Amino acid sequence: MILIADSGGSKIDWRFIQNDGSIGQANTPGFNPYYQPIEDLKKNVQEVLLPKINQQQGDVSKIFFYGAGVSSVKNQLTIKSAFLEFFPEAQIEIGWDLLAAARALCGHEAGIACIMGTGSNSCLYDGTAIVDNVANLGWILADEGSGAHLGRQFLVDYLRNKLPKTLAAQFHERFPLTREEFLEKVYQQERPSAFLASFTKFLFQHLKESYCYDLVYRSFSEFYENNVMQYKNYQDLKVHFTGSIAFYFSDVLRQVANDKGITVKNILEGPIAGLTLYHQNESN
C-alpha cells in the first residue's frame, strides 16, 4: 500500500493506494512542524490513520508526506522518524508543499507551479524537480495574490474609509468590529493571516462591485509580476495553480494572465487528487 499525505494548516488529506489500484482516504487535523510538536502528528497517525489503514488490510510499503514547513532537513528528519515508529519497513519521502503542487499540477512536464490560498508561493519545475523558487516572504512582507494579501488590502481601505459607502456598510454588518478589535485580532491573536483571509468570502460575493474586482485584479497582477514573471522564459511555459483563492477567483486569475501574455492551464482547489494520480502512474 502507498500512503500519500497533503498537510496544511487546517487539515491533512490522506490517500491509500492499494496494490489493486483501489483508493481509500482519511482526514486528520493539520500539522506544521514550525508551530506544533511532533506529538500532534503522532497522535493523528495513531488515533485516526492506523484504524483506517487496518480497515484497508494492507501493509504500507511507501509513504509520501507533503506539507508546509517541511523544507528544512531538520523538520524532514523529525517527521520521517515519527513515521518510522509506526511503519519501520516503509520507504519514506518528505517533501514541501511546493513539490506537491508541482507534481499534482504538472506531472512530468516542465512548468510553473503556484500555490494561492491563505498564503502564496511559486516554483519553476523541470518535470522532475524544482529548479527555481522566488523567495516566499510571508504575509507581512509579500504573499501577493493570497487570501491574506487580499484581506489585508481590503481591511486597510475599510479602516481608512476608502471603501464605497454601501460596500462598507455591508462589510460592517458582516464584521461588526471596532478599529481596535480589528487591530487586536491582527497584532495580538493567533493566525492573523487566516483572519485576514477570512474576508475573501465577502470579496468573492461582491466581485461584481468594481472596487472588489479591481482589488483582486491588482493583487493577482502583483503576484504575476513578482513571481511568475521572474522565471526565465516564463512566456514559453504553462502556469498552473492550486489553492482556494486561485480556484474561486479563477476567472480573474485567467483574465490577468491573458492581459500579461501568460498561459494558465490547470487550476485545482487542492493537490491531493493530482498527487494520487501522479503516484499511481509512478507505481505502474
**How does residue 190 score in pLDDT terms, banded at 50, 70 and 90?**
confident
pTM of the predicted structure, to 2 decimals: 0.87
Judge whether residue 250 has pLDDT over 80. Answer: yes
Work out the percent of the chain whose per-residue pLDDT is above 90: 74
Q: How confident is the model over 199-216, as a mean pLDDT?
A: 98
Higher pLDDT, 137 or 284: 137
What b/e readout covers 68-79, taking b as 16+ CB neighbours within 10 angstroms?
A: bbbbeeebbebb
CA distance 253 to 98: 19
Q: What is the mean pLDDT of residues 132-158?
A: 92
User: What nine digits make up the cell of 2?
Assistant: 502507498
Average pLDDT over residues 181-187: 95
Residue 224 pLDDT > 80: yes
pLDDT digits (tens, 9 = 90+) for 36-59: 899 999 999 999 888 888 876 678
Whether residue 121 is predicted with pLDDT greater than 70 in this model: the reply is yes
Task: Cell 498561459: give the residue.
Answer: 263
Residues in the chain: 284
H/E stretch holding 176 reads: none
Instruction: Kindly report, residue by residue over 53-109, the tens digit of the pLDDT.
Output: 887 667 899 999 999 878 789 999 999 999 999 999 999 999 988 999 999 999 999
CA 232 – CA 39 distance, rounded (Å): 42
Q: Read off the pLDDT band of 9 (50, 70, 90).
A: low
Q: What is the average pLDDT across 16-35?
A: 85
Name the CA dihedral angle for 210, 213, 216, 221, rounded to a multiple of 10 degrees: -90
Pairwise pLDDT comparison (272 vs 190), residue with the higher score: 272
- For residue 102, the tally of other CB atoms under 10 A from its CB is 32
Average pLDDT, the chain: 93
Comparing 83-97, 134-148, 164-178, the range with the smallest average pLDDT is 134-148
